[in-house]
Structure 1
Amino acid sequence: MNIKNLLIMSVYISLFLTGCSYKTSEESVDMSTYYKNKNSIHSNASFQESDYQKYKNYKQQQLSKNHSKSSIFDEFTNTNYVTKKTALNNELFDFYSKWEGVRYKLGGESKKGIDCSAFIQKAFKEKFDLEMPRTTLMQANVGKEIKKNELEIGDLVFFKTGKTKHVGIYIDNGKFMHASTKIGVTISDLDNDYFNKNYWKAQRIID
């Protein structure tokens, strides 16, 4: 086996060990309740559409003036349009709307299939211009650790079962968005038996 093949194999082994695959049999409750309550789950987690439209219009105007994404976000949240919490939510739901239902694929990074850590990496890069590590284990060391009862929109929530790790983005009201191995990109409830039992930690990336 040549050096190139060894390197490729090592990358896949690393993704497998630190990626976001996890047992799916215990998540069956989450899948069934998701399809049953999909509309109420999404509406309860989102803010006013009017605020989101104001934010999009503001971003488009400022981008034409060569502002960076991060400065646009800071400027907008200092105005009277919306709070920082609402702006964070709007950005995350805009990203989620483009990826909802995309199937899970370990090591995947496209609409053909994506894993949980790639979903996080793309969300923070596209919406907040923040560079995140590629693996779940490395993402678990970014930012500052917070308690579960301190969770706010945009915080990362982590789960573990043995050697496997999983990550999602908290979106308020006890819910988080993630790339589920069972459903694909979806919104789930932290109080779900599976996620509650396997909850590990939370990290705050955006202060």
Structure 2
Amino acid sequence: MSRLEALAARTARLDASLREDAPRWIGIPYRWGGTTRRGIDCSAFVRQYVRDNLGIALPRTTADQRYEGIAIGRDELRAGDLVFFRRRGVRHVGVYLSDGEFIHASSSRGVTISTVESGYWDRHYWMSRRIIPAPPAGDLPTPRSIVRRDSTGARG
């Protein structure tokens, strides 16, 4: 299997894993500043969803999450990437799944899956960040096996 084929297989597994967890979140209401299943905002949702599914610790706010990982182009999106939107200074974040879809906590619909290319999201797309580190050649971790270390070397 070539490295490109291995990466495609890894991305497909990651997408399947993220989509498998989605139903337990869909419909949870949006609450600004909320961090629980009784009500959650977009950055708290992304933080929890990413920690549960990828084992990566993210900061609490969208303002801080926008600096995580590396910047990528919209045409480079893969499952597990963060997608950011901005409208009139208000920032929003979600987790990219595949096929143009992302999961997020919408202020009008609660946690839902939307399409990046749909009118509203397309118009307000801002940037994307890849938070999953690139594996060394020949070492392709599976979803949920990726753990980020903080600056002290402790697992996060």
Fold agreement, TM-score > 0.5: yes
2:38 is matched with 112
- 2:60 pairs with 1:127: no
2:66 is matched with 140
* Superposed structure 1 runs of 4+ greater than 3 Å apart: none
1:11 is matched with none
CA distance in 2, matches of 1:198, 1:161: 6
CA distance in 1, matches of 2:21, 2:41: 15
Quote the offset at 1:152 in angstroms.
0.8
Given residue 155 of structure 1, which amino acid in structure 2 is its aligned partner?
Answer: D
Please list, as runs of the form range in 1=range in 2, the aligned pairs for 1:62-141 lying within 5 A after superposition.
83-141=9-67
1:168 is matched with 94
1:121-176 CA-to-partner distances (Å, cap 9, x unmatched) read 00111122211000001101000000111111111100001221000111111111
Question: Comparing both structures, which one devotes a greater share of its residues to helix?
Answer: 1
- 2:114 pairs with 1:178: no
Task: Figure out how many residues of one structure are paired with residues of the other and give that number.
Answer: 127
- Stretches of structure 2 that go unaligned for 5 or more consecutive residues are 1-5, 135-156
Quote the offset at 1:89 in angstroms.
1.3
- Could you say which structure has the larger radius of gyration? 1
1:203 is matched with 129
Q: What secondary structure does 2:19 align onto?
A: helix
Quote the offset at 1:90 in angstroms.
2.4
% identical equivalent positions: 39
RMSD: 1.5
CA distance in 1, matches of 2:26, 2:64: 24
Given residue 172 of structure 1, which amino acid in structure 2 is its aligned partner?
Answer: S
**TM-score w.r.t. structure 2 length?**
0.77
